[in-house]
Structure 1
Amino acid sequence: MNKATIYILVLFFFIVSCEKSKVLPDPPIIVVPDDTTVVLPKYFHENTWIYEQMRLQYLWADDMPDEKSTDKNLEPVEYFYSLLRKDVDRYSYASSDYQEILDYWNGQLESYGFRYKKVRVDGEFGLAVSLVLKNSPAELGGLKRGDLIVAIDGEPLNPENAERLLERKGASFLIKNDEEYRLSLAKRKFQVDPLQFAEIIPWQGKKVGYLVYTQFLFEYEERTRALFQYFKDQQIDEMIIDLRFNPGGVTPNAEVMASLLGPDLGSSVELFHGTGNTYSQQQSILRGESPVGRRYFTNETSNLSHLSRLFVLTSKSTASSSELVINCLRPYRAVYTVGGYTYGKNLISTIIYDETGRYSFGLMPAWATLINAHDQSTYGKDGLIPDFPILEDEWPYMPLGDTTETLLRKALYAISPGESKKEFKKIEVLDGFHHWDTGKGFLGNKRYNP
């Protein structure tokens, strides 16, 4: 039985974790007398497979219940949750369809392609569109950042029905701005381009690089390097990276991003380190390796080594690899966060599924700790604290890159004070997230929902 593992926010353990191609044992053979009938639990084989995977990979495997005491009649996803250490683990999740997990981490989740804030404008509940992804059904259909959705398929929205209505494959949205109009959209899979928006902003005699980066995905390193080379050639004076919508992603891309944003350190300086569970540490020692896995900066000729500081726009949806970039750059560069608290995922996760095709479910358990070069990793409970806190409670939401946009303006004023003459209406923001438009939370699971 082979398992395939795709590392999220990880790959720094791709040397330490040689278990990824391990052939796992078949379920035990039960020998009974010929005249005895044995009825196995309904999901015996599936859940035996899950338990073995978790024993090998789960960060808190030592705290799992004894296998004999577990209920293998539970459906596989429910069985997975029964194994978790719930007092500390708010990150691990599973899906009945592993392809949904793979699609998301490849930037191909089926959706409309927008994110939203839950708000009340003049007392009326609505979904304030905060991001419209490039080439998405939402963008192609005419939805814009700053649109306020107040009804779906004729049903007025409220905090209780919004997610249920967003689960539909297609719908008619009532938009209320200066005037009301309807917009019909249908979900589909499309490729996310994480380089959402970039430009150089002239500000108080300085050139400020600004990049909205929405997800850490494979195969975008070269385009990212080219963009940073442009910033470098233009001799920008300051850099703002907008990670308020970014839930994380694959570590190699995050390592490149951190190396581009940081000083010129070469490839022998540690970016971060961490450890897996007791079993994985023991296996490393048996191979003559350190039980502590380490990852290093990458050589990047386009890095912004001439800068002395970095500003990062954040929200409760800033998670995982995004937090890695912030926390792991801080030993080497002044990094200031602007906006809200981040999600608080200071752990590494891994994807596990059965590539033989017998089982359709996928698992994504917490896998290893994540610690910067100064041994700092204290943001797991509440997230990283913003250095310049500000709510996204000014209406209307201005286009990304507009110098009057709430978070960008706050960062620009931290660079050099200014004065905005634009007047905004204050609105009530119900939480700190930029929610997914799927209606199902993050990958259909609201336990871990950046």
Structure 2
Amino acid sequence: MEIQNKSAGRLIKLIISGFCIGLIATIGACKKDNIKKEYPQGSNEQINTWILDSLSRYYYWAAELPKKPGLGQSPVAFFSSVKNASDRFSQLYLPNQAGVSSSRSLYGFDYAVIQEPLSLEVLGLVKCVLKGSPAERYGLKRGSYIRKINGKIFSSSNVVALDQELLTGRTIKLTLTELKDGGYIDQPELNMIAGLTFEQPVLHQVIERGGLKIGYVYIDGFSAGMASTLVSVFSGFKSAGVSELVIDLRYNSGGEVSEAAGLCAMVAPGLTYNTDFIIYKGNKNGGQRKESIGEAATFDKRLDFNALLQNNLSLSRVFILATGATASAAEVVINNLKPFMKVTVIGEKTVGKDEASFLISDQRIPKQVDWEMYPIIYKLFNAQGQGGYAGGISPDLELSEFTLLPLVPFGNANDALLSKALDQISAQKVNAGLRSSINEARSVSQIGRILSDSHLAKATQSIVLTHR
């Protein structure tokens, strides 16, 4: 019996020893599997490993990243391969690479190409001319028609080619044309040279209609410092006794949440520093975070929230002009004012950027990866938890800005979108005589296809920037 017990003891020891050896081997294998491979600096594998690690931490769709992506691809191809199918806006780039050229960045104007059905002419239609730009110096104005680029007449078959030709090189020859007596008369050719453009001033005015004073402000974008500029504008509105407001965001492709918050702080009634303004919803690392309008507007200490409140118009409603080029932080203004006041959107459905990002770059010393990215990190919601406008924000009153042509300067009561807003405010039909000074105005029902639009291209490349 004693011998048997000793044998059993030895057997148990052998079994335990075997188990321990197996466990040690398994742990060793796990450790070996978890050890990250070291790749040569600058190799695709090394760069893509950094991209994947960053996305795993911050990316809204981090849980859905592929388990074994192909690290050997070029960084651009790799980034594209791991992006979620729902992700339209994340960006990866090298800082020293030139940005995407556009008619705006090169020459300071945006335009659409339309087919005018009465004459079947295909023409470029200038939509916006930046102050101080080459386009302004060469005499382009909002509403100008372009017949030729480099001597080539626009046609429905060469729109893309001429759009690209405009972006090639540093000079361009433009032939403008004017509609007179039922026909188009070409103007002398312009030999335009590319040049710098600068931060644009805010366009604003007070319009009197039916005994009311109506504030109008056109905001081109929400770049850093925009809200500070708007303080003096709203101070003027308040001093003038403005009781209605039209905010023109038709070409506003967005920018920073803080600047949008600064604007909202001067529009919506009943606000305090701690009034809930925006909700960020991220992945399991980011979680859900709520931010007050005071925190959002003053996080970088550029703005004094009391100064914003002092110039608050305390309105019960606001009219916002929007198009298919209205995006990101401009959409935040629309969505995040809704819990506080009646918001009437006039124009077209917006782009649909209900998401936010911030810059991610390699912070190691020394830096090992030069690439930078703006991945989607948050989904955005207003104070009442309303969001989900990835398909765009639909207008309350649908209308094309091409309803009345030629296009007139921003703030002109003959502009189709502003005219509709003024009608709504005054509850009166616009006097037909208002357009008597506009030669041969035509309605959008007579306009053919919009063949291209530089503003739409710009809007798809923008992103909502947040400090969160």
Q: 1:231 Cα deviation (Å)?
A: 0.3
| Residues 332, 203 of structure 1: alpha-carbon distance in 2 compared, 3 angstrom cutoff | same
Partner of 2:447: 428
Partner of 1:91: 89
| Residues 277, 188 of structure 1: alpha-carbon distance in 2 compared, 3 angstrom cutoff | farther
Q: Distance in 2 between matches of 1:151 and 1:353?
A: 43
Q: Distance in 1 between matches of 2:230 and 2:93?
A: 31
Partner of 1:392: 401
Q: Distance in 2 between matches of 1:429 and 1:295?
A: 46
Amino acid at match of 1:43: N
| Residues 431, 255 of structure 1: alpha-carbon distance in 2 compared, 3 angstrom cutoff | farther
Amino acid at match of 2:234: F
Partner of 1:285: none
RMSD: 2.9
Partner of 2:125: 128
Q: Distance in 2 between matches of 1:346 and 1:432?
A: 27
Gaps of 5+ in 2: 1-34, 180-184, 298-304
Q: 1:359 Cα deviation (Å)?
A: 4.5
Q: Distance in 2 between matches of 1:366 and 1:395?
A: 39
Secondary structure at 2:213 match in 1: strand
| Residues 99, 208 of structure 1: alpha-carbon distance in 2 compared, 3 angstrom cutoff | farther
The count of corresponding residues between Structure 1 and Structure 2 is 393
Bigger Rg, structure 1 or 2? 2
Q: Distance in 2 between matches of 1:331 and 1:267?
A: 16
Q: 1:398 Cα deviation (Å)?
A: 1.3
Q: Distance in 1 between matches of 2:452 and 2:262?
A: 26
| Residues 225, 123 of structure 1: alpha-carbon distance in 2 compared, 3 angstrom cutoff | same
> Larger % of helix: which?
2
Partner of 1:330: 338
| Residues 308, 39 of structure 1: alpha-carbon distance in 2 compared, 3 angstrom cutoff | closer
Amino acid at match of 1:85: N
Partner of 1:155: 152
Q: Distance in 1 between matches of 2:42 and 2:141?
A: 51
Trace 1:118-197 onto structure 2 (pairs within 5 A): 118-121=113-116, 122-157=119-154, 158-168=158-168, 169-178=170-179, 179-181=185-187, 182-193=189-200, 195=202, 197=203
Q: Distance in 1 between matches of 2:223 and 2:410?
A: 21
| Residues 414, 373 of structure 1: alpha-carbon distance in 2 compared, 3 angstrom cutoff | same
Q: 1:254 Cα deviation (Å)?
A: 0.9
Q: 1:194 Cα deviation (Å)?
A: 5.1
Q: 1:407 Cα deviation (Å)?
A: 0.8
Amino acid at match of 2:52: Y
Q: Deviations over 1:329-362 (max 9, x none)?
A: 0100111111111111111122223466654543
Q: Deviations over 1:366-386 (max 9, x none)?
A: 1101001111113211x1111
Amino acid at match of 1:74: Q
| Residues 431, 295 of structure 1: alpha-carbon distance in 2 compared, 3 angstrom cutoff | farther
- The TM-score normalised by the length of structure 2 is 0.77
Q: Deviations over 1:263-312 (max 9, x none)?
A: 1411110111112122233xxxxxxxxx4242424532344434221000
Gaps of 5+ in 1: 1-26, 31-37, 282-290
Secondary structure at 1:425 match in 2: coil
Q: Percent identity, please.
A: 27
* Contact 1:228–1:302, Cα closer than 8 Å, also in 2: no
| Residues 92, 39 of structure 1: alpha-carbon distance in 2 compared, 3 angstrom cutoff | closer
> Relative to structure 2, which stretch is displaced further, 117-126 or 271-280?
117-126
Amino acid at match of 2:240: Q
| Residues 358, 124 of structure 1: alpha-carbon distance in 2 compared, 3 angstrom cutoff | farther
> Relative to structure 2, which stretch is displaced further, 258-267 or 226-235?
258-267
